[in-house]
Homo-oligomer: A and B are copies of this chain.
Amino acid sequence: MFQSMPDRAKTTPLPVREAHGQPLVLVVEDEAALVTLLRYNLEREGFRVIDAANGEEALLIVKEQRPDLILLDWMLPALSGIEVCRQIRRSPEHRRTPIIMLTARGEESDKLRGLEVGADDYVTKPFSPSELVARCRAVLRRALPQAETEVLQYQDLSMDLATHRVRRGAKDVHLGPTEFRLLRFLLENQGRVFSREQLLDHVWGRDIYVEPRTVDVHIRRLRKAINIEGAADLVRTVRSAGYALDVNI
């Protein structure tokens, strides 16, 4: 028996940025009440939220979960916000991850130093939730498009994310939205096997429920679209485990 009912809330994060789902926001803040407030407002607006109470935790999460946006309190125990910011910026992967800092009113010097260190914007406490959400949106909009690779490839299969074009060899391939996301996910994790539940989480999103068998149907549609008669099947079925992008031997 495998994974009767996966608890999606706890699924281990994959080393993949989910470009299509809702943006993942990391809130770094030690004041619990504020975290609750932020979480409530962000989630209501369609963001996913994780939080960290201190700098070390924050850095760890950044590395593992790759948030799309970071809300960073400037006053933190131990590791200061500035230091956290600097360390995040040091890794080339997160060089472009937007950071919004939360500062107390009137800490002008903080703001300047924050912006110097690479924060993208700041919000002064106390702030209105709607303003904060608006800023998050604005910052994300500017940052997201450039976050990903432009062309994904596997053998003679290629997917251009900018033009949304998919080709197999010389043949142009048309995919529906779901097949497009599915193939994209598989291309971003070539060779790796995913269970139906994992695929649902990553391609469909954690929030909606669809029958796991639905994945089969979409895999079928994908195969039909990208496979060339005579050539090897690019989608591999691993019985009782799932599917992967790989050549069937």
Q: Which residues in A have some Cβ–Cβ distance to B below 8 Å?
A: 4, 7-8, 10-11, 33-34, 36-37, 40-41, 98, 111-112, 115-116, 119-122, 126, 128-131, 134, 138-139, 141-143, 145-146, 150, 162-164, 172, 176-177, 180, 191-193, 197-198, 201, 206, 238-241, 244, 246, 249
Contacts and interface: CB of A to CB of B under 8 A. Distances in A.
Given A128-B120, A239-B177, A244 B192 contact: no
27 contacts: A7-B145, A11-B146, A33-B112, A34-B112, A37-B112, A37-B115, A41-B115, A111-B126, A115-B128, A120-B129, A121-B131, A128-B139, A130-B139, A130-B142, A138-B206, A141-B201, A145-B198, A162-B192, A163-B192, A163-B246, A164-B193, A164-B241, A176-B239, A177-B239, A177-B240, A177-B241, A180-B241
Interface centre among A126, A143, A180 (most CB of B within 10 A): A126
A249 B172 contact: yes
Given A41-B115, A163-B192, A180-B241, 16 more contacts: A7-B145, A10-B145, A37-B116, A40-B116, A98-B130, A111-B126, A115-B128, A122-B126, A122-B128, A130-B143, A131-B142, A141-B197, A163-B193, A164-B193, A164-B241, A164-B244
Contacts of A180: 241
Contacts of A111: 126
Contacts of A146: 7, 10-11
Contact of A164 (B201, B206, B238): B238
A163 B141 contact: no
A120 B115 contact: no
Contacts of A139: 128, 130
Q: List 4 A-B pairs, minimum CB-CB distance, nearest first.
A: A121-B128, A177-B240, A7-B145, A10-B146
Contacts of A176: 239
Protomer copies: 2
Contacts of A197: 141
Contacts of A4: 142
A239 B164 CA distance: 10
A146 B133 CA distance: 15
Nearest to A193: B164
A141 B239 CA distance: 21
A75 to B, nearest CB: 16
A201 B140 CA distance: 13
